[in-house]
Chains A and B, each alone.
Chain A
Amino acid sequence: MNLIESLLVALGGLASNKMRTALTMLGIIIGVGVVIIVVAIGKGATKSVTDSVNALGTNILTITPAPSHVRINAATVQGSVDVPDRLTLADATFISHNFKKSIMAVAPQVHGQVQIVLGNTNATTTLTGTTTDYPFVNNSTVSTGRFFNAREVEGSLKVCVAGTTVASNLTGDATSNLTGHSIAINHEMFLVVGMLTSKGIAGPGGDQDDVIVAPITTVMRRILNKQVLNSMTVRCKDAPTMLLATEQISNFLRNRHHLHPPFPANDDFNVRSSTELMARIQGITGTMTSLLSAVAVISLLVGGIGIMNIMLVSVTERTREIGIRKAIGATPADIRLQFLIESAVLSLAGGIIGIFMGVGGALLLAKLSGWSTIVSIGSILLSLGISAGIGIFFGLYPASKAASLHPIDALHYE
């Protein structure tokens, strides 16, 4: 009996019991669907992280304060009462003025959640205080108006630029131009001097357009009342100078903060490159993806056991048919092939339906939640392979059982 004939026989068997066939396939459909959706979310998250890092540029260093216990320990070790401030505006100024060989610009930053009011509408957003180097370091541009200038930073003037999501939250229209309007930020009136060009990147990292940027001096003194920075972003000349810049900045900060070796254990700051950051986030999403995939694989396993169960029932029900086939010359191999093909078709059909459901689910999820999802050909091929494999593996036992039936016993089965 050739393969096409066996396939037709198997399809006939499945078609004669449609409801049972559908229910049996459900386990595989769900398993495959979930694998595809989970992989699509994982890939989408990874891509949006990569995109935001690429938008920022790759020769970027981010300096953040380390957890405070490290700093207290360092102070205790040196026995000094002169505990220095953590990252300060003066640090940023010093770095930008002294390491010209490796560093192009430094943007010190403070962040805070603030309430903003325009007319009768209010909203919350992230306020970032920074210097005039911010657009260059952060790859940001203004679409209308201008960025604030050095004079406004020195004078702690109440001016700001706003992102498109802020405009949309305040006016209901992301394209509206707030330039020239006054916005109350935590009850202080700020003049909007420009609109930031949309970065258009939404993802697990948050909406990068939901932001107001203002002079760091103004934000530190008048709004957030902070003495230290949340971070410094440093743009290096090119990729090869990043190592030199990291070393220069670390040495400078260790000196200034009176730190003692061993380093980097006693550092009270972290210097991270954007690529390092990307690798870390990708590591996390990768772990999540593999975890959820493991869950999905377990559901595929359960689906496979369901198939085995139904195939065993089917073998029992069709014992007489097996007897007839054997009596007229079917070999054990013919019978085994017939049932193996039946379970493989069952599982593979479930897999194909699952792929359609998974792709549809991923697209729907992207539409509803705004997460970016990427359906990969690899996950589709993998699912196909897995479902065919499940069908054959879990069909093997019932098929062998059918093949080994004694012709007389099978013929006399009632």
Chain B
Amino acid sequence: MNNGPLKETEKMLIPEEVTLLLRLRDIHKNYTIGGQEVRALDGVDLDINHGEFVAIMGPSGSGKSTLLNIIGCLDAPTSGLYELDGIDVSKMDETEQAHVRNQRIGFVFQGFNLLPRTTALKNVSLPLLYGHHHDMVAIATAALTRVGLADRLYHTSAELSGGQQQRVAIARALTMNPPLILADEPTGNLATKQSEEIMQIFQGVNDEGRTVVMVTHEPDIALFCKRMVIVRDGKIVEDGPVKDRRIAKSA
């Protein structure tokens, strides 16, 4: 489909053969707000392969966050088909969707969404708790070490900076080792330097072969990605590879 030639890094980390991870067909999402029907998504078709790093961009109200929520099984489309790894998840019940979110998807939010008054380690352990893992402390510690917070395991959210909190959130998204990482404006609350640190982590995660899909409205952040999808009025209006891709420097 729309995959270009593979780069060297991708070749090492993903199956030789490029495989489809997400398949969305004619996705519609309608809301009723104050008696008025709003078409948040109006017939979206999108395919994303394993190993891609996609930025979804668009003005506010364009439906980009709605699209990400549907991809993340947090919201159900009004109509349309959504397959994740060949499985139709739009027909699943709440419990099955919860399992999909737990096993296959890692979320990173703009507002970090860590549990208040809870240590970094506990926050990162949470997906393992619902995934019925046993060696929770070891896995969570490894995930926090990976994002450079090995010395902040027992700090609560209030004791961490914004950038550190977002790194805890990324560690939490990585604990269950999911093939798909979704991020909704992950750098929206951060300063430029911290944003670049976060993007560096995402690029590292993508280099491992994980698919990253990120919503952002900052063009310079989108430049860290490989592919850019632009949404306007509930439709995809542009879709192509990122030119002049930036590689985040190590801090």
Contacts and interface: CB of A to CB of B under 8 A. Distances in A.
B156 interface: no
A331 B99 contact: yes
Interface residues of B, number: 26
Interface in A319-345: 320-321, 323-334
A1 interface: yes
B130 A327 contact: no
Interface stretch (B101-109, B206-214, B238-246): B101-109
Contact of A408 (B75, B116, B126): B75
B75 A327 contact: no
B113 A329 contact: no
A5 interface: yes
A406 B69 CA distance: 12
Contacts of B94: 331-332
A331 B69 contact: no
Nearest to A406: B75
A311 B78 CA distance: 33
A65 interface: no
Interface in B66-101: 69, 72, 74-75, 94-95, 98-99, 101
B99 A324 contact: no
B207 to A, nearest CB: 24
User: Which size bracket describes the interface of A in this complex?
Assistant: 20 to 34
A57 interface: no
Contacts of B116: 321
A294 to B, nearest CB: 42
Contacts of A16: 117
Contacts of B12: none
A413 to B, nearest CB: 12
Given A16-B117, A411-B109, A326 B129 contact: no
Contacts of A325: 126, 130
Contacts of B172: 328
Given A326-B98, A408-B69, A408-B74, A331 B115 contact: no
Contacts of B99: 329, 331
B58 interface: no
A286 interface: no
Most chain B CB within a 10 A radius of its CB, from A329, A333, A334, A407: A329
Contacts, number: 64
Contacts of B95: 331-333
A326 B117 CA distance: 18
A324 B102 contact: no
Contact of B126 (A2, A320, A328, A407): A328
Given A325-B126, A328-B127, A329-B99, A411 B113 contact: yes
B148 interface: no
B106 to A, nearest CB: 8
Nearest to B116: A321
A1 B115 contact: no
Most chain A CB within a 10 A radius of its CB, from B101, B129, B131, B132: B129
Interface string A381-414: 0000000000000000000000000111001000
Nearest to B65: A408
B130 A329 contact: yes
Contacts of B113: 320, 323-324, 327, 411
Contacts of B75: 406-408
B188 to A, nearest CB: 14
Interface in A1-59: 1-2, 5, 16
Given A328-B102, A329-B101, A411-B109, 19 more contacts: A1-B130, A2-B132, A5-B129, A321-B116, A324-B114, A324-B115, A327-B107, A327-B109, A328-B101, A328-B126, A329-B131, A330-B130, A331-B94, A331-B98, A331-B99, A333-B95, A406-B75, A407-B75, A408-B74
Nearest 6 CB-CB pairs, A to B? A329-B102, A331-B98, A329-B130, A331-B95, A328-B127, A407-B74
29 contacts: A1-B129, A1-B132, A320-B113, A323-B113, A324-B114, A324-B126, A325-B130, A326-B98, A326-B101, A327-B109, A328-B101, A328-B107, A328-B127, A329-B101, A329-B127, A329-B176, A330-B102, A330-B130, A331-B94, A331-B99, A332-B94, A332-B95, A332-B98, A334-B98, A334-B130, A407-B74, A408-B69, A408-B74, A408-B75
Interface of A: 1-2, 5, 16, 320-321, 323-334, 406-408, 411
